Each structure stands twice: as C-alpha cells, then as structure tokens.
Structure 1
Amino acid sequence: MKIYSKLTSLFIVVVLLGTLSMRPSEKKILIFFETKGYYHESIPTGVAAIQLMGQQNGFAVDTSRTSEIFTDEKLSIYDAVLFMSTTKDVLNEEEQNAFKRFIQKGKGFVGIHAATDTEYEWPWFNQLVGAYFKSHPKQQDAVLHIKDSKHPATKHLPKTWKRWDEWYNFKDIQPDLKVLITLDESSYTGGENGSNHPISWYHSFDGGRAFYTGLGHTHEAYSDPLFLKHVLGGINYAMGKK
C-alpha cells in the first residue's frame, strides 16, 4: 500500500511538472530610461507603474538606466524594449546595431513621450519610432480623437478624450504609421501639425513591431487608468501577445 501511495504521488508530481512545462513562457520587457538631454521627473513614477502593470498582467519587467545592456546576448531574453522618455544620443554604434538586430528578429519596441526626442542622427531609429520631437507648447488640456478603436491600446478609450499633458509637435513623420490617436489643434494653443496631428501610432518595421504614445509627461499620467490601459495595450502589441 505504501509503495502504491508513493507511486501515485510520484505520478501526480510528474503530471504537474509536465503541465507546467507546457505553459507558454512568460513574456518579458526591458524598460530603458537613459537620458543625455532633458530628464523627465516623471520617469521613476512611470517605471514603477509599468513594473506593477507587469505583475498584474503576467509579464516580467527589467529596467536599465545605462545602455550597456544593448548587446545581442543581453537583449535576447526580452520580447520588447520600452524607451521611457529617453533623450538625445543614448546608444553608441555597437549598441545601435545590437538593437537593430533585436528588432529584425521579430521583437518589439515601445516609445513613451520623449522617446521621439532621441537619436536624431540615426535614420533607422526615426523610422522605428515613427517621428522626431520638434517642439511643444505649455502643458494644457487638449481633445484627442481615437482613430482606431480596435487596437488593444485604444479599444477601451472614448472616441473623444480630453486630458492634460505636454503636447508634442513632430517632424520627420514616417508615411507608414498606423495612427491610433490624433490631437485636435483647435482645442489647445501651440499645435503645429495641422488637422492630422498624430499623437499615438503603431506599425510593423524591419521585421518587428513598434508602438508610440506622445502622452506621459506628468506624474499624474501614471495613475490614470485610461492612460495605463493605453500603454498596456501598446506593450501587449509590441510583445506579440495575442
């Protein structure tokens, strides 16, 4: 009887281990937040919010303020890399090439706010992130229009969304972007991109996936459920989560 009991217990353990091994591996992202220009005080708030988001939504989150992590080996464990308000030239040529190969392997990129204020001398990055920062007026309320309500980053949002943030004007906007949200320039002062002013978009590029949102300048953004769900949808898209 004891032998039978032990064999039964062993069988249960083997079955459980087999079940666990058949579960899909956990997704993992890297938050990168090095700055060589303006430092956004909201960066630590944003990093903490996305770390909590990962815990609540089943993906792992690593962070790095330095670019030494941009090697083929170190990046290989991630499904997506998130640039959290990075500024200016944060990657050297070797690191750029490693990141380029990462995307070409079918991985993902997420850019938040000042990610477009980054790597102005690297045309490939301009294509990946989708546009470069040009200027911004003072922080103020503005009306946003949701152009695609089916994407995971926007399907929860009202068609017209009013919120406070720092609203970027862009240059070198890429022609292949799938625009998710536009800014209504009649609702605030200082807009320079006209009637089709993109503020969030996604696209496939060079074998990988890229999502960007221009929102996220303030501390308060990272306690706003609508904005956090917007970012979560973008992360899920970039990770290739179905």
Structure 2
Amino acid sequence: MRAHAGERPLSSSGDGPDVLVVAGDPGDAELLATTLESAGYRVGAAGGAAEGMARLTTARFDLVVWDATLPDNKDLARGRRLVLDNRPPVLFLITCDYLHTLLPELGGGAEDYVTKPFRAAEILGRVEVLLRGRRTEPPSGMPRYGDLVLDEVTCRARRGARPLDLTPAEYRLLRHLLVNAGQVLSKEQISRHVWNDFRASEAIEKLVSRLRQKVDQEEPALIHTRRGFGYVFGRPGT
C-alpha cells in the first residue's frame, strides 16, 4: 500500500490487521499509532476527514479509528456515517459533549466508540472486539442461554426468532451477564467491563433498564436485580 503525500505510511513491527487512524490532534494520532503498533497492528494515518475518506477509497483497511470531533466531519454526514462499499468497522473517538450526536447513528457490530481522553487499554479492547466481528466462527460457538443467542461474528443478539436491536454498550452488557449467568455482578464490575471506567449508579441503572426492556419481552425474565448487590442473569431459581 503506497502512502499519499503528507500521509503516514503503514508501519508496524508485526503482520497484524491494517488500521487507519483519522485524527487531527498530533498527540492523539501519535498515541494511537504507538499503541496499535506495539500490539502488532499495521497503522496508517490521516489528519482530517477528507483525507481519511480519500485513503479509504483508494486502499484497503481492516478497521478505522476515526475522531468524530474533526472540524471537517460536517462535510461527511457530520462524521457519523461513513458511506462506502464494504467499509471496515469504525471505532469513533468522541468527547462527552458530542456523544449525543453520535449515539443515534451507531449500528451494532460494525461501529463502537470511546470517549476522550481515552486510555490505551480501552482502545485495544474495543479494536479487538470490532475485528472479532470480521472473523468467521462456527455457529456452535455462539454464546446462548435458553432461547437467547449472541452472534459474535456480527455482534448481534436474538431471543427466539426476535432480533434484539442493541447498542454497542447494551451488547457488551448482555454478553457480560450471559457468560456470568447465575453470578451476581456489581455495578462497579458492570461499569468497568462496559465502559472501562467507573460510571455513576444512575448511568448503569439506565443501561440495565434499556437492555431489560429489549430482552425480557418474553417469559421468563432473564435479567434480575439483587438490591444492594447488583444484577444477575438467568431463570429464577437456577
């Protein structure tokens, strides 16, 4: 893959997936590149939205890390949708002030986000989850509980024949609950897993409530509150 003038060429000490970093802040761009390269990814970079789109239309990448606060995002559907044939998964970087503009546009499986300032471990974790959705797994490997099934290839879920329209955070929470079925998970445990940091109780309660509304439309209910302790997943009495 050849780099255009002014672009950072792909570089890495490994042979991992190709990741394009689109970030205007030099400090963010350098931290992202160093973090990803140290994990074995091949990294290319663009300093703006227009430059990023140009690279995506002329070269193949396995994943994009895209700063949703770039000034020229407004010329590209405000940076919320990257409309390309066979476009790779996108990890958006965004500040809390802009988060409400991004969340309605996120789709399960192909997009996720982290808030700035971000941490290296969180970036690597989100990248791994998004790339995992591009890999092929046998259907027998799908996590399930009764009639609830998670498809880790597409990062989607269904209960019986009914698909669940989950946000990335809801999917991460549901998977965490399912793989720990029967165990009480505290709000702190849930917050650390879903967001990689601690959130207020109200934020966790709202997330659990939204997920419960989507999952527990049928009987039996699977998400239960243990007051003073946290939440537990599974059929009552199991």
What TM-score range do you get, normalising by the shorter chain? 0.3 to 0.5
State the TM-score, normalizing by the size of structure 2: 0.36
State the TM-score, normalizing by the size of structure 1: 0.36
Structure showing greater radius of gyration is 1
Higher relative contact order (CA 8 A, sep 6+): 1
Higher strand share: 1
